[in-house]
Amino acid sequence: NTKELSVDHRLTQVCELLMENIPYYNWVGFYFKNGDKEELKLRSFAGEPTDHEIIPFGKGICGQVAVSNENFVVPDVKAQNNYIACSIHVKAEIVVPLFVNGENIGQIDIDSHTPDPFSKEDELFLEFVNEKVAEILEQ
């Protein structure tokens, strides 16, 4: 429907804005819980297309955040055993859950080609971005 399309478009714009303005954000995407299924589905992104459009809960960094409800900062992806590689260029990743009415409904996922680039500032900034996105979703 038209409303979902315009939300998708706005989410894509958010991804593009972040990727174009923050040099160490090399892939930006939003995953959402896929209906009643125990999995995440990619809804919008900027950067190279990924094969991982569906991620089961518990799998990879994203799947772990779907169940932990907590930010996950990965300074070095090689040091993670529960990690799903999307590109050989990726060195680090950050995933911040997206809450609507206190419920974890999805997440923003960012990959970086720079080692250990993410600070507390990124976490706070991405929490703020997700609060704004939650407002878009509630409209």
* Contacting range for ligand SME; rule: CB under 6 A; set: 1-9, 57-65, 114-122, 123-131: 57-65
Q: How far is residue 82's CA from residue 93's CA, in Å, rounded to a whole number?
A: 13
**Considering beta carbons, is residue 6 or 68 the nearer one to ligand SME?**
68
- The answer to whether 98 touches 107, Cβ cutoff 8 Å, is yes
Q: What is the DSSP string of 29-90?
A: EEEEE-TTSSEEEEEEEESS--S-SEEETTSHHHHHHHHH-S-EEES-GGG-SS---S-TT-
Q: Quick check: 62 binds ligand SME (CB under 6 A)? A: yes
Residues 10-49 touching ligand SME, rule: CB under 6 A, are 27, 29
Among 11, 15, 86, 126, binds ligand SME (CB under 6 A): 86
The contact set with ligand SME (CB under 6 A) reads 27, 29, 50, 52, 55, 60-63, 83-84, 86, 93, 109, 111
